[in-house]
């Protein structure tokens, strides 16, 4: 009997495909001719269990790196994918670290309930992904977007940018352009989403951003950059509060 074959009987004939060639770990027995006796072949039982084991491993790995509510990366997934981005890019390549925080999210939860709060987070995350994908004049692609923060109402993004800054003044201008572009497009997308509930469409948020070179985004540098963006986000929040109180 040749390798990769099961002995054929009068009632059944199986071909075995080597899943090492097809991306798997075991051969799969496939009934392709002969009389179906109604008896499950023992190879199929073994391979079904193997498939279930692979699926469970993939599920656990996905859950380890993704937020279970929005499907965005969690803190661990953000860190892992940022490290992968750094390894695949030149050390001078620049990216924007952006922090977005939903304003008065606790009020939304308290007044509309936690299910409404969850829906708001899901819809906001979906729109955020769509908006960054549309902004290819500013960003190269390969966006890394995560849901973070102790209360779960904060989003942290690494957005590789198209044009590197030559000096600190250009960097400040680029940061202002990025934050205003994201804010404007997000607000427009929320207002145009007529199918969404009123409390979702009227969500407000604050944003802060910094630009860093790849070489500056080791573990310590990444943490510091996020802290800086977070500080700028709170300044934006205070500015909005001051404006709304006038």
**CA 200 vs CA 8, 18, 102, 185, 205: distances in Å:** 62, 50, 11, 15, 12
DSSP bridge partners of 16: 29
With tokens 């661990």, the residue in question is: 76
pLDDT at 47: 62
Q: What is the pLDDT of residues 51-92, one digit of tens each?
A: 677 777 777 888 899 999 999 999 999 999 999 999 999 999
pLDDT of 133 above 80: yes
176-233 per-position pLDDT tens digit = 999 999 999 999 999 998 888 888 888 999 999 999 999 999 999 999 999 999 999 9
Mean pLDDT of 155-183: 88
H or E segment at 150? none
Report pTM: 0.75
Task: Write the pLDDT tens digit of every residue in 26-54.
Answer: 444 444 444 454 555 565 666 666 667 77
Write out pLDDT tens, residues 110-125: 888 889 899 999 999 9
What domains, with CATH codes, occur in the chain? 12-65 (no CATH), 75-244 (3.30.70.270)
Range of weakest confidence among 11-20, 62-71, 161-170, 185-194: 11-20
Residue among 98, 106, 109 nearest 131 (CA): 98
Residue 108 CA to residue 180 CA, distance in Å, equals 24
Q: What pLDDT score does 149 carry?
A: 67
């Amino acid at each position: 009997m040749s390798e990769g074959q099961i002995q054929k009987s009068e009632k059944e004939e199986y071909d075995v495909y080597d899943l090492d060639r097809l991306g798997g770990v075991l051969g799969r027995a496939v009934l392709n001719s002969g009389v179906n006796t109604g008896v499950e072949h023992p190879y199929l039982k073994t391979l079904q269990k193997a498939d279930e084991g692979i699926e469970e491993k993939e599920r656990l790995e996905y859950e380890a790196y993704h937020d279970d509510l929005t499907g965005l990366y969690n803190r661990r997934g953000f860190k892992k994918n940022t490290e992968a981005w750094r390894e695949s890019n030149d050390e001078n390549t620049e990216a924007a670290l952006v922090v977005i925080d939903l304003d008065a999210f606790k009020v939304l939860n308290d007044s509309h309930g936690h299910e409404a709060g969850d829906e708001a987070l899901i819809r906001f995350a979906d729109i955020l992904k769509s908006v960054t994908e549309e902004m290819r004049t500013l960003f190269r692609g390969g966006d890394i977007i995560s849901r973070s923060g102790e209360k779960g109402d904060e989003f942290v993004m690494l957005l590789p940018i198209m044009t590197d800054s030559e000096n600190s003044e250009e960097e400040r201008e680029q940061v202002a352009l990025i934050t205003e572009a994201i804010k404007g497009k997000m607000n427009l997308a929320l207002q145009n989403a007529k199918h969404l509930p009123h409390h979702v469409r009227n969500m407000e948020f604050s944003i802060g951003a910094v630009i860093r070179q790849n070489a500056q985004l080791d573990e310590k540098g990444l943490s510091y950059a996020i802290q800086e963006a977070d500080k700028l986000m709170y300044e934006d929040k205070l500015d909005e509060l001051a404006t709304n109180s006038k």
